[in-house]
Structure 1
Amino acid sequence: MVKSRNVGRYLAKLAAVLLLVSLATFLLLELIPGDPIDALLPDGATEEMRAAANERFGLDGPMLQRYFEWLGNALQGDLGRSIQSQVPVADAIVERLPVTLELAFVSILLALLIAVPVGVYSAYRPGGLVDRVTTLICAVTLSIPSFLLGVLLVFVFAVTLGALPVTGWTPLSEGLIPHLRSLALPVITLAALEAVGFIRLLRNDMIATLQQDFVLSARARGLSAPRILLAHALRPSAFSLLTVMGVALGRLIGGTVIVESIFSLPGLGSLVLTSITGRDLFMIQGIVLVVAVGYVLLNALVDLTYPLLDPRVRTT
């Protein structure tokens, strides 16, 4: 088991990282060229309007004071109000977040369902037909940007075949099948690119693991190939895959802007895009904070799962 002292040290590091993330997020307003209030007011605003806006949005105090006030409010779930719609930023994020989370998690799950069996078999038969075909498909897929892949999928499955909707989002409350149909194309778009990276990584790690002494010993004892691959070789080969999966999941949660825009999905990606075009600084600030904190926590969760794959690993 992990020593309590090491756990405490790890949690202290995590708290420090989260504090730095909150500070960097707060400084978004300060890093805008010129006065941040300029982005909140129309052209030709008077000094009286500027003073009123500074007081209204809490921009009239010292920076350090404003940071701690903002942090205290954020810890209570108050991320301010949208400049455009005047709705609480936290409410807008909570409304959009489930769509992005579902899109990211289902995409990662589909990518793993494809990558694990393909990567394991390619490593078991390197240079074989499956391995050569997989290598070719991976090379072609990597050369296609996500937005282009999404457009191609829309053209084939929605426009040409008419099997799936072109754009739009159907909530699960309106039926499982319509929901899955609206989810299919964006998930395939994201999962295809992630699966390629997973396959290549797992294949290379599995090839190295299959040369280890404990695997050769298992073969000498006459164990079957599936048992060797799944019970002995897969788990120690999954460290890099687990790390990359955590990074990919965090990236998908915060970076599905293009895919959500192509398929008109009401997620965080489309919200941050409209907020940027509308100069809704507080909404952008809130989204960045939520995504950044989520990214840090996901990677912390990945670190904590390493001992489950190999008890020899200890958090330090």
Structure 2
Amino acid sequence: MVEKLIREQYGLRIGETFRVGHYDAFSHHQHVYLIVPVSHYEDEELYELYHMSQYLLERGDPFVAVFLLTKQGNLYIEWEKRKYGILKTSYVQGERVFQVGRELARFHQKARSYPYQVSKISRIGQWKNLWEKRTDQLEGFWRGKVNSQPLDSFEKMFAESFPYYMGIAENAIQYLVDTELDDEPQPIDSATVCHNRFYSHTWRSSGLVKVPTDWVFDHCSRDIAEYLRNQFFEEPESLRQEGFQFLEDYDRTTPLSSFSWRLIYSRMLLPIHYFECIEDYYLSAETDKPYYEAKLADMLKNSSRYEGFLKSYEQLLSMRTKKIYLPSIHWL
């Protein structure tokens, strides 16, 4: 039993378990501990996340979950061929009221002063190479599918839609390159602790607890763009109000540079949502494939609405900021 192993390795007794966000959790002596799967991380990545969480806790963020070390000084235990970390939090059950944009801006600002080198989980300055590699890989996969008839209904949608999304991806990469050539990064553009994907429920579902295994080291625009993208697909009816309120709250707390505004735009241009839907379909179990097929069909149906969303972002900026010029993407 994992309970026995946790007691032996950490000296913690598990009573009743409950959920905090995506994770199983238990309480012990007025603290809450998360049981977090970490099998898909290399040891070096976990040590970087461990040091980041310690630093942010010391910087006064009470909601950061921190890795506990085992009695042997390890960051995880192994049970049934899987690795688990135990993270200590200050989680309190019940709703916490907070402004996501303001809270995210403060979090990013604290983490910008992180003084140690980050290599394994760093994505800063790597977007162009990562985006090109991902687009090229999917193009190669697409060519293979197109040449292997017959196609099922999902593959037909993929075969017909990929050229459109590849064109958008190329636009996003070019826009990113132009931004890096034309614009000058400011102090706010320093690398900070970001999330692999930051969504509206990332902190709400966990009572604001910040879990290090969600993190990467990157530019703040990553979290802002992914939050807005997720709002478009998951909560479209509240996007104009809440999405742009989120932007305003963030910018009021730590004003964004024109370089940041343009990186947000370039990242929202990149059709990550499409790439992930295709990848997830082929990696999923047969029982899950209908979900991704329906998701892709809905995405294709709403492609012109997403273009409209990008256009409204551009208009919002020219209206709100006056001095910031965003070069137009001509196909919008």
TM bracket (short chain): under 0.3
TM-score scaled to structure 1, two decimals? 0.25
- For the pair shown, the structure with the greater C-alpha radius of gyration is 1
More helix by share: 1
More strand by share: 2
Give the number of the structure with larger relative contact order, counting CA–CA contacts within 8 Å between residues 6 or more apart: 1
